[in-house]
């Protein structure tokens, strides 16, 4: 009898571990994994478009339970040369939030500090995430499109009312 109970407990533990691993996975985002390089632009507070060179490295960790995102951007000057002036540094962790039943990104950047956002899957290899800017009250959202093979296109938009959106950012990267 004791052996049967131990077998049942063992099977229950194995099944629990298996289902937990499946529900906490972000395998559906594996298309993001890799090294990405390219360029983009951002509108500053002065409404002047500034161009930059961007590199992103995305890795899958903990058996597909998390993606680690490292991003680094440098200013491109008026001659088109990449300078050593860092304009963007960010680090993010993308994982499945079992309580909210959604993919969540916790990110840290030199400009905004710590942010937490739910990621919405809009369609085949298309994602969107947003956050509320506490100072201005504006909502800032980013839409990422990986639907073209080895291409990552992203736009950033801002809205004061959640209905009228104004683009302030665009980035186009290629997988290396």
pLDDT digits (tens, 9 = 90+) for 25-83: 899 999 999 999 999 999 988 999 999 999 999 999 999 999 999 999 999 999 999 99
Residue 171 falls inside a structural domain: yes
pTM for this entry: 0.83
- Whether residue 149 lies inside any domain: the answer is yes
Is 17 domain-assigned?
no
Residue 133 lies in a domain: yes
How many domains, the chain?
A: 1
**For position 164, which CATH number holds?**
2.40.128.20
For residue 86, the surrounding DSSP H or E stretch is strand 82-97
User: Quick check: is 66 in a domain?
Assistant: yes
pLDDT at 110: 81
pLDDT tier at 111 (50, 70, 90 boundaries)?
A: confident
Q: How many CB atoms lie within 10 A of CB 70?
A: 14
Look at residue 2 and tell me if it is in a domain: no
In a domain, 78, yes or no: yes
Q: Where in the sequence is the domain holding 90, given as residue range(s)? A: 26-175
Map tokens 């099977």 to a residue.
11
In a domain, 8, yes or no: no
CA distances to 32, 90, 92 from 107, rounded to whole Å, are: 16, 7, 4
Averaged pLDDT for residues 145-158: 98
Compute CA distances 143 → 78, 80, 114, 140, whole Å: 27, 26, 19, 10
User: Smallest Cα–Cα separation from 51: which of 79, 91, 89?
Assistant: 79
């Amino acid at each position: 009898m004791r052996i049967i109970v131990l077998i049942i407990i063992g099977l229950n533990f194995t099944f629990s571990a298996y289902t937990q691993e499946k529900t906490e996975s972000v395998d559906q985002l594996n298309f993001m994994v890799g090294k990405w390089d390219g360029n983009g632009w951002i509108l500053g507070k002065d409404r002047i478009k500034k161009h930059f060179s961007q590199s992103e490295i995305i890795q899958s960790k903990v058996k597909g339970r998390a993606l680690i995102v490292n991003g680094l951007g440098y200013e491109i000057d008026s001659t088109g040369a990449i300078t050593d002036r860092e304009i963007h540094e960010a680090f993010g962790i993308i994982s499945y939030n079992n309580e909210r039943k959604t993919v969540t990104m916790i990110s840290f950047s030199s400009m905004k500090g710590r942010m937490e956002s739910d990621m919405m899957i809009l369609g085949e290899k298309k994602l969107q995430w947003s956050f509320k800017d506490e100072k201005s009250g504006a909502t800032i959202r980013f839409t990422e499109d990986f639907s073209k093979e080895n291409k990552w296109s992203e736009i950033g938009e801002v809205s004061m009312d959640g209905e009228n959106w104004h683009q302030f950012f665009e980035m186009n990267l290629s997988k290396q």
